[in-house]
Amino acid sequence: MGSSTTISVNPGCQSHVAMVPFPFGSHPRPLLSLTTALASLAPSSHFSFLCTDQFLASLPSPLLANISFVPISDGLTDLTVPTDIVAMIGLFVKSFEKILIEGLKAAELAAGCKVSCVMTDAFLSMASNVTGEMGVKWVPVWPGGPQALLAHLHTDLIREIVGVGDEALKTYGDKSIDFVPGLSQYHSSDLPEGIIVGDVQSSFSTMLHQMAHRLPNSTVIVLNTIQGLDSTVDSFFTQKFTNYFPTGPFHLLNSTGPEPLTDPYDCLSWLDQHGPSTVAYISVGTIVTIPPSELTSLANGLATSGAPFIWSLNEKTQSLLPPGFIDKINQTGKGKIVPWAPQISVLGHTAVGVFVSHCGYNSVMESIAAGVPILCRPFFGDHMTMARAISHIWKIGIALDGMVFTEQGVVRALEVVLKGEEGRKMRDKVRELKDMVNIAVSQEGSSWDNLKRLVKIVCGC
């Protein structure tokens, strides 16, 4: 890395793996889960988790002694303090190679041994330039949906056939992507942003387009999915990469045991008071902001439906709810609105019968792992892709009419999922997928087997 700094060698360090997540949205947590799983299988290797201070402060402390947190720059300076997330991502991406080099130096000094392998979020494919100069392995990890990655890898072909922009979407929006194996059941309107719609010239879209060109140069790809969830997708990645490792769901790989339960707002004890599959759990993640009109429609729809619910909603947004709504809910006891909920534990409670979600991939996998159907209101990114998979392919949920919250739409969807025959079928199907997940992450399962194979590649042991 062009450094003359002397490293005090740690003789007990068999190999040193650096994990670098994309430090925005929900990306760091699943990669920390994967890091913990790898570290538990390779106790003589050291794992450095490189992320920005902001995210490191929000993550649980490492559960194992051979994992260390290493802070890296977010690319901002005193002269550049944007409030827009897209601008922040742009600055980070622009400086990433320099940030990575400095972070790896810091990791080596802290661990007392040279980095032998760099694992990064696949978003950060420019890491391959740095690892190539270092002469060390680069292993990309895709924490999102395989279908979205499949689409990104065919960006050039899709743009050539479909075109780019709103006009292309109007012409081709309802047509299936039948020219890409694995996407024949998806429409152009389901594709992730940045491929044909949105700002295809933004730094974020450009980063993903460059990723599509760089990833095939890697012999390894790690995905947060399970073997067999989509055999056509499995077939594509098996042919494209020498080592295809569907090793998910990452959040279930932690063999060191679950994190200590934190439930400051007593969500679980409230759920204990309700019958099986009767409660709606609502959460649209930490980045999504529900438009004010839809926020009102959702609140009114919940009140009209009469279904008990837990709604994870930050305090700032709570202030935008209809006047008197929270007081009414508290008086009737029908609902519980909290600033934060232990999502995995809530989804795992028998009382929860539907997850009202933005269809972020981590949330989708957590819902599948818990056997809970999903009510889809996608917003951006790959949310539309996942909503199509949930509602039309796996058939484990339902999409809202027009993909927006309306009072009657919410009432109708909750009625279908919680009380109707169609909802019962959804629960049966999602429980079948839950069983597949449990088998995959068992000691004899495909995800666990792939994890052990991955350890040999990244640690050399």
Q: Which residues are catalytic?
A: 27, 121
Burial class (CB within 10 angstroms; exposed 0-12, middle 13-18, buried 19+) of 110: middle
Stated as kind and residue range, the H or E segment containing 243 is strand 243-246
- Cα gap 331→308, rounded to integer Å: 13
Tokens of 392: 């039309």
Stated as kind and residue range, the H or E segment containing 107 is helix 85-111
- Cα gap 417→431, rounded to integer Å: 14
* DSSP for 347-375, written as a single string: HTSTTEEEEEE---HHHHHHHHHHT--EE
**Best CA proximity match to 202, nearest among 381, 27, 28, 77:** 381
* Phi and psi at residue 394, to the nearest 5°: -75, -25
* Residue 140 region by backbone torsions, left for phi larger than 0, else alpha for psi between -120 and 50, else beta: beta
Asked if 430 contacts 368 with a C-beta cutoff of 8 angstroms, the reply is yes
- Cα gap 401→237, rounded to integer Å: 34
Distance (Å) of CA 427 to CA 353, 355, 369: 8, 12, 12
Helix, strand, coil percentages in the chain from 3-state DSSP, rounded to 5? 50, 15, 40
**Best CA proximity match to 355, nearest among 283, 447, 292, 304:** 283
Asked if 348 contacts 370 with a C-beta cutoff of 8 angstroms, the reply is yes
Is the sign of the CA dihedral 450, 456, 459, 461 positive or negative?
A: positive
